[in-house]
Amino acid sequence: MAHDRGIIFDVDGTLIDSNDAHARAWVDAGEELGYDITYEEVRPLIGMGGDRVTPLVAGVEEDSDEGEELAKTRGEIFRRRYLPGLEPFPRVRELLQRLTDDGFKVVVASSASEEDLGALLDRAGVADLIRDSTSSDDADESKPDPDIVDAAVGRAGLPRDRLIMVGDTPYDVEAARRARVPLIAVRCGGWGDRDLEGARTVAADPAELLERYEEIFLSSRDDGAPSR
């Protein structure tokens, strides 16, 4: 039915309700190491790679000794304090199961590390449905650069015009645009329609994507025009 098409999913804020937790882990790590990182400052940056966030909130580069210490501490706090309580958004597994049953190749493109990505997919309850994945370990540059999406395109093994990406942040929109892959945006990550300008379609969450399944995933429209 749709064996020559694929879907590239972002994970944080798209499949699993984790964006707030990532922001809190930044704040907690800052408190532990003496950086004044506020939730209000870091929350809008979630969705970019940590290498881009670190200099903005802590004034150090991630590959410096200080940056590496902050990254390690933040990761440990996130995995210990927040990851065990994360939940997927409603009907996430049902959506991915239907896409898989319909023959779509389902891959993920996340700014998370490979270690964290596996744990996030397990918490989301969809690890067994993912055909392949790309993480920050597969990209020279993190979102909003297109490297992670480009890597996912390669894993999917399909032409770009046979792929759709689903994401929740302006950084996903920009990365998909630069990778020349149309994007479906969801608001459940915390951004509004204006922030997600450039997406082909904006929906509330994966449950709405499932409700609008035929319109969004089976439509023959390939003009890239946005709809709401």
Record the tokens describing residue 199, joined without a space. 């997406």
What CATH number is associated with residue 73? 1.10.150.240
pLDDT tens for the chain, 228 residues: list them: 445 899 999 999 999 999 999 999 999 999 999 999 999 999 999 999 889 999 999 999 999 999 999 999 999 999 999 999 999 999 999 999 999 999 999 999 988 888 899 999 999 999 999 978 887 777 778 888 999 999 999 999 999 999 999 999 999 999 999 999 999 999 999 999 999 999 999 999 999 999 999 999 987 444 444 344
Respond yes or no: is residue 12 known to be catalytic.
Answer: yes
Radius of gyration of the chain (CA): 17
SS3 199: coil
Q: Are residues 144 and 185 in the same domain?
A: yes
Choosing from 10, 116, 172, 195, the catalytic residue is 10
Residue 51 designated active-site: no
| Alpha carbon 226 to its chain's center | 20
Q: In this structure, is residue 227 part of a structural domain?
A: no
Q: Are residue 40 and residue 100 in the same domain, yes or no?
A: no
In a shared domain, residues 76 and 96: no
CATH code assigned at 155: 3.40.50.1000
Range of the domain at 56: 19-84
Whether residue 201 sits in one domain with residue 98:
yes
CA atoms of 38 and 35, how far apart (whole Å): 9
pTM for this entry: 0.92
Both 79 and 96 in one domain: the answer is no
Domain-ending residue, one of 62, 84, 106: 84
Helices 50-58 and 19-33: crossing angle in degrees, nearest 10, is 50
Same domain, 97 and 144: yes
| Count of structural domains, the chain | 2
Q: Which of 4, 12, 63, 223 is catalytic?
A: 12
